[in-house]
Amino acid sequence: MALDTDTTLNSLGFAKPPSETRVVVAMSGGVDSSVVAAQLADEGYDVVGVTLQLYDHGAALAKKGACCAGIDIHDARRVAEEMGFPHYVLDYENIFKDAVIDEFADSYLAGATPVPCIRCNERVKFKDLLETARDLEADCMATGHYIQRKMGATGPELHSAADAARDQSYFLFSTTPEQLAYLRFPLGHLPSKAATRELAARYGLAVADKPDSQDICFVPNGDYASVIEKLRPGAAEPGEIVHADGRVLGTHEGVIHYTIGQRRGLGIGGLSDPLYVVRLDVDTRRVVVGPKDMLATRQVPVREINWLGDAPLTSRAEWHVAVKVRSTRPPRDAIIRPLSDTTATVELLTPEEGVSPGQACVFYETEGSRILGGGWIWRG
């Protein structure tokens, strides 16, 4: 009897029918992950929806019309009911506090500008949730992130989303090759968010018009300082606003109210030239200000590097790449000079303003859309 040589891969890359392919979908309750779950269910996959309860779920449910965790869990559950697949809510509150919120507070107090969404992907979603997906015997885990996974010569590669305006690669640079082998990102190829909403409407999802969340989930109104004060009482101790030349220009109500590069709201009027926050000295409780040119940085020390290139990071003395030092900025030409497998000095060929410890520095191929990894900016 002749062997069946038909090894056609399904849309998730497995050589078996969708009905025999189990996929866990990380569902936040938003339109993106809802569309991923609905589309895969519509294609006949064995879908299991999982929503993480990350913070203050009890309070969220108690508030009528609250736009936080309770509503999101409800919305995710409703999509699962409409599309006919099982849905689970996992209580990750303690994990989230230990892995994300506490570090956010501590790094903010140390004068850094943290990006907790990256740590959440790295330490919660793509670690604990991914393990849960394996426990559920899923073949893979899918998310609603706007990023692409493409097969390359040595295995799966991470690539920017087709829609540059929605690209989330800055927040996913720490995805390891092992995680990438298991993850799927079905929205990364879409031309726009409008295309996602059209799919939501086609599947009849109630979340089709749900607005995007703008803030960090546990900082609902963007007021970092009040969250930090709640987590670390006494953090907002007053101090001096000092010019880089040593002059004391005024006082402040706490270093946590300031970020590197800030110009407005310094409370030091009457000066002929605009001044910017150039340094936060937490130990002396000083906010150091200076002219704009003091913000320009060329050498950026980077650590905790996750390298996604085909050859080892240390196999070359220099890598000519493009880097992003803020999520909202386009990649700029740079040179990575490795110091070890996980540390490097990055030289920006054009100096950037407002490079801040605590932000990520993400590496891209200069030609094409591939992400080569990234690391965390620190003081060096």
**Out of 67, 117, 140, 217, which one is annotated catalytic?**
217
Angle at CA 376, nearest 5°, toward 326 and 276? 50
CA distance 26 to 187: 13
Return the CA Rg of the chain: 23
Comparing CA positions, the residue from 368, 76, 109 lying closest to residue 228 is 109
What pairs with residue 75 in β-bridges?
Answer: none
Alpha helix (H) ranges present in the chain? Answer: 31-42, 57-62, 69-83, 93-96, 102-109, 116-120, 130-135, 177-182, 193-202, 224-231
Binding-site residues for ATP, please? 26-33, 52, 144
CA distance 131 to 125: 9
CA distance 179 to 181: 5
What pairs with residue 50 in β-bridges?
Answer: 26, 88
Q: Helix, strand, or coil here: 256? A: helix
Q: Which two tokens stand for residue 221?
A: 């109104």
Contacts of 273 (CB under 8 A, 6+ apart): 291
CA distance 253 to 334: 38
| Torsion sign over Cα 218, 223, 228, 229 | negative
Angle at CA 265, nearest 5°, toward 236 and 300? 80
CA distance 223 to 35: 30
**Out of 68, 120, 140, 361, which one is annotated catalytic?**
120
CA distance 1 to 4: 9
Annotated catalytic residue 67: no
CA distance 335 to 352: 14
Catalytic annotation, residues: 120, 217
